Amino acid sequence: MARAQAPEPRQTLDPDRVAQWLARHPDFFVGREGLLQQLKVPHPETQGATSLLERLVHDLRRRAEVAEERLEQLLESARQNEVHYRRMRELVLALLEAEDNDALAQAVATQLSERFQISSIALWCPPALTDSEPQPPQPPRHILDNSVAPRLSALLDGRSSRCTKLTISDWKRLLPHIKPPGQAGSCAITHLPLGESSGYLVLADADPDHFRASLDTLFIEYLGEILSRLMLRLGGQPHDR
């Protein structure tokens, strides 16, 4: 009687080589749909396995959800940009209607309070800009002097605009027409180029984190550029180009 031969050892394929081969032959499963139904893959959310088709459906659904979330984020960003644009448009139009620098300061204070919830501002002007005015400036506009200018320059720390903390003593000095809060607040400051002189716009809040240092200063810089041009025009000063 012939002796039975021992079974040959089971050979296994290298998974990486299989993956590479399938990548080079993406049409392998064409005509082999039954094989796809037999394949099992780990379930992404629970223990155990699921069919390849179910896993593909799950992945496609998740991708659709992510795409929908991103689209909603883009739409929300667009809505916020439109709201911001409309607010800026109304603010600029109101400033253009001002007949003098006091009216300009009042307009910017009103617009910032009503449209941007910024109720504490101060506009510091150089004496040269107010010499020809019959009356002294009215708050929130003030004449820049040697007691205030160095402190504003120090807070800017060599920059054209900046967001930073505002101590109670600085609040009393830089916003003298507004009662200071019971604690240190925060502020955004920008430099105003006014011909050969300089001015400053200060926006303040009692919340020390409202104008945090990491906040972008594009808004106050843009507002400062508009105010500089209008103040020079209303004050009769030559505008440097």
Following DSSP, what letter does each residue of 19-55 receive, concatenated?
HHHHHH-TTTTTT-HHHHHH-EEE-SSSSSEEEHHHH
Cis peptide before 140 (omega within 30 of 0): yes
pLDDT for position 52:
64
Q: How far is CA 51 from the centre of its chain?
A: 45
Predicted confidence (pLDDT) at residue 201 exceeds the cutoff of 70: yes
pLDDT tens-digit map of 130-164: 877 888 899 999 999 999 999 999 999 999 999 99
Rounded mean pLDDT, 160-178:
96
Report the b/e string of 51-80 with b at 16+ CB within 10 A: ebeebeeeeeeeeeeeeeeeeeeeeeeeee
pTM: 0.71
pLDDT at 14 > cutoff 60: yes
Count Cβ atoms within 10 A of the Cβ of residue 29 and give its class: 0-12 exposed, 13-18 middle, 19 or more buried: middle
Residues 139 and 146: their CA atoms lie apart, in Å, by 19
Q: Sorting pLDDT into bands at 50, 70 and 90, what band is 16?
A: confident
In 224-235, which positions are buried (b, 16+ CB within 10 angstroms) versus exposed (e)? bebbbebbbebb
* Amino acid (one-letter) located at 218: L
- What are the distances in angstroms from CA 125 to CA 94, 96, 102, 112, 159? 20, 18, 11, 19, 18
Of 15-19, 56-60, 136-140, which has the strongest mean pLDDT? Answer: 136-140
pLDDT the model gives residue 184? 92
Average pLDDT taken over every residue of the chain: 87
More confident residue, 60 or 58: 60
Check residue 59 and give its pLDDT.
80
